[in-house]
Structure 1
Amino acid sequence: MKDSGELKYFLGIEIARSKKGILMNQRKFVLELITELGLSGSRPVSTPMEYNLKLTYVKYDEYVDVKDKKHGDKVHVLSQFMQKPKESHLDVAIKVVKYVKNEPGLGILLSSKSVSHLIAYCDADWAACPNTRRSITSYAM
């Protein structure tokens, strides 16, 4: 076993330590993605996706309703179309990257202070999918 020193970068995640705690982010990946897509000169956008945007499947041309929630939900919505993406899906994906361009170093802080409580947020949209009538539920802790 070998000690490689203090951990700085692991599996695409940058790790920075301070007295406040440990900050983990994917800044390098985000900046490479922005450069690869040729968006270095473009302006960042304030929202990741338009409210009430309708994305469609290629095969059935069915509608999927996208609610205005956190950007994690946008990635989930876009991932439904990975098998047969359309040009409109690429346009939305590029807008999500422009949204992330606002704060490429944003990450998760693992606080060094002791936390004695757990905070959880939950959101449910009952029968939101017009195709399957299934509910869409999101949570974060």
Structure 2
Amino acid sequence: GASEAAGAARARLEAELQQQREAASAAAQDAAAAQERLQAELSEHREASAAAGRSSVAAIAGLEAQLSEQRGASEAAGAARARLEAELQQQREAASAAAQDAAAAQERLQAELSEHREASRAPQRPARDSR
């Protein structure tokens, strides 16, 4: 009886031990699978983050290039405007000088005309010979 009871107890313990081993093995497999999933997720996040970083760097570089182009265009426009203003100033000065010349010439002609009128109105005296 005692030997049968001991055998039955041993069989129960062995079955329990087997169940424990199987449960431990299943838990270890679950843990390994979970770790693998997390590793894959982490890897995806790293890749996405690196891609976002690259894209952000590219976007910044693109904006800087655009800004530089705009600055260049703006400087060129400023230089062109300065050239045009200088040209306009020269034209104004030339026009003013031409107007002054014209006024002076008109004054001279007016004076000459007056002299001629005076001379034609004056009684005809013998011309003074300055020779």
Common fold by TM > 0.5: no
Q: Relative contact order (C-alpha < 8 Å, sep 6+): which is higher?
A: 1
Q: Which has the higher helix share?
A: 2
